[in-house]
Amino acid sequence: MKNKQCIDAGREGCPCALAEYGKCLICGRLSGGSCQDCSWQGTCIYTLFQQNGRQKIDVRRERRLAVHTVRRYSESFCVFLLEADRGFCQKAQTAGAYVFARAEGADPWYDMPVSVLKAEPEKGLIHLGVCGSGPKSGALLQAETAVVVRGIYYNGLCGLGSLDDRTCGASVFARGIAIAPLRNLLDGGGRYRRWLKNAQLYVDTEKVGMDFLRDYFGDLPAGSLHVRSFAEEGTGCGEAEVCGNVFALTSPYYAEQIEEAAEHAVVRPNNANLCCGEGICGACTCDDENGKTVHRCKAKR
């Protein structure tokens, strides 16, 4: 218990539904133990739980966001620009931020996790890139007037804790819409750019196209951008200098190759393991090397 961290601990929405079911990842008293099992240094989660009537704090409510603009890059890929309040947009600027989204009028089981591509608090807009690959994404692509979202959630990226501020180089491998979290990293100023010094970007534009790349990443230095087909040419991680901070914004198939070449942990999307976002459904759980069950939507790594 002492080595566990939770991405939501101390944020709005803590204590969450796991506390109600006696499975809090931080609080010993809310996981069947005692205060001796807790190393949390923030406001006591057990006290917050008691003060809230032994119920979770529910702030990630569903909200209807009007569609401001739809940028259609192909029949199966578009970016929704959604109108949202300034506070929501500011939270959405966090690296690894994502929401659950569905088209207005669709049933709740059509909710799907979508990384925040870009947030503009000054304009009251968030950008969500949606690439059609199944029933959920296909239904979301049909949204016209509004999208129902739930969030903000913060654990869309794994491995941020392994990044080193002191390194002078970074390699970013990206394929398709998995590149979405990179925009928040670039827009985050000193918070994140310290991890991206002299970054080289190796990108496969399959499914998203060059127009999308120009619209959202056209501000990157031309010499740092390398476009290639991963399927035909490989990721480039064998010929690139994969040292320092490495980002594998790809499917798990390519991320594993890149991590193996880097010989250390890399930053990679968590979307393949996300289902409910709250740790309740258990679809994201796995066992660590000590046999402890880890909720990947909650675990801070």
Least confident of 63-67, 213-217, 270-274: 270-274
In the chain, which ranges are E strands? 62-74, 77-83, 98-103, 112-120, 125-131, 146-153, 157-158, 170-175, 199-204, 225-227, 245-249, 268-269, 285-287, 293-295
Bigger pLDDT: 83 vs 40? 83
Report the percent of the chain where pLDDT is more than 90: 55
Q: Which of 34-38, 190-194, 235-239, 287-291 has the lowest mean pLDDT?
A: 235-239
**At residue 216, does pLDDT exceed 70?**
yes
pLDDT tens-place string over residues 82-117: 999 999 999 999 999 999 999 999 999 899 999 999
> What does DSSP say about strands 199-204 and 225-227: parallel, antiparallel, or unpaired?
parallel
Confidence of residue 121 (pLDDT cuts 50, 70, 90): very high
Average pLDDT over residues 156-178: 89
What pLDDT shows up at residue 165? 83
Domain assignments of the chain as residue spans, ordered by start: 17-59+274-295, 62-153, 157-269
Helix ranges restricted to H, the chain: 17-20, 45-51, 86-91, 135-140, 181-187, 190-193, 209-217, 230-233, 252-262
pLDDT value at 2 more than 70: no
Percent of the chain with pLDDT over 70: 97
Q: Which fold has domain 62-153?
A: Elongation Factor Tu (Ef-tu); domain 3 (2.40.30)
DSSP, collapsed to helix, strand or coil, labels residue 226 as strand
Structure confidence at residue 42 (pLDDT): 86
Mean pLDDT throughout 226-239?
A: 85
- Residue 74, pLDDT score: 95
The pLDDT, as a whole number, for residue 1 is 35
Q: Is 10's pLDDT higher than 50?
A: yes
What is the CATH number that goes with domain 157-269?
Answer: 3.40.50.80
Residue 3's pLDDT is: 46
Q: Which of 64-68, 186-190, 255-259 has the highest mean pLDDT?
A: 64-68
Q: Do 62-153 and 157-269 agree at the fold level?
A: no
pTM over 0.85: yes
